[in-house]
Chains A and B, each alone.
Chain A
């Protein structure tokens, strides 16, 4: 298992667990990033952070600091 922020660009992975609690965890899950969901890393912003990912057919921008809470395989 690895954190989402370390997944190479272009790869599609499956979410296995969301770490953390409270607002951050809930917000990540509210946006549809739940256990078993495929997530594709689309690109990083020109300065390296945040990341652009696609999940459930739409696109999201997420800071690496927040992506660290998402475990994938």
Chain B
């Protein structure tokens, strides 16, 4: 006999992942579903004397329903129908019985054995409710096991029950009222007669009754059969005065209300701890101050104090001195060729080290984020901030990614994964790197020091405002484009009860998030660093060359005319911008090398840089480097979240285009206004560009008219 496959299905926040981690322990595999960002987790059932069967556990995305409207739901139902696991282990949050059973009623009709794992029974007891698992099992027509995922109680028994049930016949689905049952039986007969679908016929009948477009397109029915089905549905709709989809949903909840009535005895509900916390955390006056305080602490510890220290230590001491020094000594001892030494030390350790330097900072951030997420506060952040972010086509959940991006864009982009709406997630990924990250600070310092007097304290803050402005402008412009006009998913979010996060789950989160980043650093970034090192160390004749004789320098000279209209046609500025793609702090290093300084001689470097620019062109240069395509590590992160090459290209092209437009405006208009430069064709072009951008931002939003509401 082959492997038994157990599919883990349940609502978000039902304790599914905790259960999965207990059942699989160490041997799990995390990957993406083909073509989408939703993670696919698979693990071997932990072997022990308790099981005598080998089994694979597949952790499906947390879903509320099997509707065709969200990615996670489509993935879940397609997996169940097409891959046909041997048994479904359905995790049900017993303290939220009705909504959780809604999914159960849908799982029961697929034609695969189902076992319900009743989680969080302790919460039921706390609410002074009494839930009778045996009565529930009898009513659902499938085995029910009580578990406590957090404490690990009953989990092994539930898995055993599932393994035993895998060999049994599938359950009898929940029955709806007579009119609906009559219609469904007719459709089911038509499906069986006119297609070779033998399994899951009731599931398909219900989907056809709901007029589920994704399912209808699976069948190649003749026109007559189609008409027959449509007629059956219409008759039933007329009788019950509702549309097919709503009839089914209503029927399910009516059955559930009945089941809950008999199996669950509601006690007198008291004000819980969770209620008390929430009355403070989302209080009209206290919510925002508390939120600011928490964010300040998270930011200060992970990016400012502890995180900043660790990053510096990792980049400078660990990679810079110890590893670099150790490897350099080794290479010299073995008399390795000079070019190879340079590749390993400058290219690989220098480049990958700069990226890996952010790992400790990220892990601290992820620690805080996991704690905030697991305890339930993150949903409240979204609740509090949604009103503001909605204006820019973002969601309340976009705040966290943007905050993290002030430290490093890579974890910022990765944090966008918690945003359910695909549009808002993509939008967040597109704008996250506009916020100046810590690697951009040296560039700001260089330009400020070189071209602006010490009294110009406002330069650095203005760059942050520029970033926030770019986020807001992009949100307003992009949400009206056709790229984002397919979103119809409403912002309806569960506000889970507050709970104390489990250390284990927090650790698993940190590890999973960091791992993805480290793997990227070891592959894509590793390769990119090697290539950039090669281009900047060799000439076209493949002989070693200084920075100004290298292939990269030639490429810089070739593209520098492109930058002339935005104020930095100097090829050295162009090359510096290019090397910024490896890591933004490279802009400073490259300028220093190209201008013939060591990076330490800042006063002289300032003078040389001052000679290259006017204050206006310097600010345009700064603006371009802040907003354009981010470093290779961030591009890799964008690609990971966007999945398709198309969306990755759209993102970095949009960012570069916006950067070019903004610096063009700054240079052309700024030179005329502040430096008294003569009005030229460039000035008029700039006015046209400005007008075009204003039009993009101010034109009416077709979507807003559809779902709009005056507030």
Contact = CB atoms under 8 A, between A and B. Distances in A.
A42 B67 CA distance: 28
B250 A66 contact: no
Contacts of B249: 26, 29-30, 34
B243 A31 contact: no
Contacts, number: 127
B69 A60 contact: no
Given A34-B253, A37-B253, A58 B494 contact: yes
A27 B494 contact: no
Q: Which of B245, B283, B495 has the most CB of A within 10 A?
A: B495
B390 interface: yes
A10 B684 CA distance: 58
Interface of A: 5, 18, 21-32, 34-35, 37, 43, 45-50, 52, 56-66, 68
A50 B387 contact: yes
Interface in B373-403: 379, 382-384, 386-388, 390
Contacts of B700: none
A45 B386 contact: yes
Contact of A66 (B95, B383, B387, B492): B492
Interface residues of B, number: 43
A56 B711 contact: no
A43 B282 contact: yes
Given A26-B249, A45-B282, A66 B491 contact: yes
Contacts of B386: 45, 49-50, 61, 63
Contacts of B96: 56-58
Nearest to A26: B67
Contacts of B64: 30-31
Given A46-B287, A48-B711, A63 B488 contact: no
B482 interface: no
B493 interface: yes
B655 interface: no
B98 A56 contact: yes
B490 A66 contact: yes
A35 B711 contact: no
Interface centre among B253, B287, B492 (most CB of A within 10 A): B492
Contacts of A31: 64, 99, 492, 494
Contacts of B493: 60-62
Interface of B: 64-65, 67, 69-70, 95-99, 102, 243, 245-246, 249-250, 253, 282-285, 287-288, 379, 382-384, 386-388, 390, 488-495, 707-709, 711
Contact of B98 (A22, A32, A35, A65): A32
B98 to A, nearest CB: 4
23 contacts: A23-B69, A23-B490, A24-B488, A24-B707, A25-B246, A27-B69, A27-B489, A27-B490, A29-B246, A29-B253, A30-B67, A30-B102, A31-B492, A32-B99, A46-B283, A46-B284, A46-B287, A47-B384, A50-B386, A52-B383, A62-B492, A63-B492, A65-B708
Nearest to B73: A30
Contacts of A47: 384, 387-388
Given A57-B98, A61-B382, 15 more contacts: A21-B243, A25-B246, A27-B69, A27-B492, A30-B102, A46-B284, A49-B386, A49-B390, A58-B99, A59-B495, A60-B494, A61-B494, A62-B491, A63-B491, A66-B491
A24 B383 contact: no
B390 A61 contact: no
Contacts of A59: 494-495
Contact of B491 (A5, A18, A25, A50): A50
Contacts of B285: 46
Contact of A61 (B488, B495, B707): B495
B348 to A, nearest CB: 47
Contacts of B95: 57
Nearest to A51: B383
Nearest to A46: B287
A24 B493 CA distance: 13
A25 B250 CA distance: 12
Nearest to A37: B253
Nearest to B704: A65
B387 A34 contact: no
Contacts of A52: 282, 383, 495
Contacts of B379: 61
Contacts of B245: 25-26
Given A27-B67, A37-B253, A63-B390, A22 B488 contact: yes
A68 B708 CA distance: 10
Nearest to A5: B709
Contact of B383 (A22, A28, A45, A58): A45
Contact of A45 (B99, B102, B387, B488): B387
A25 B493 CA distance: 15
A46 B65 CA distance: 30
B384 A28 contact: no
Nearest to A18: B246
A16 B388 CA distance: 31
Nearest to B383: A61
Given A50-B383, A64-B711, A34 B99 contact: no
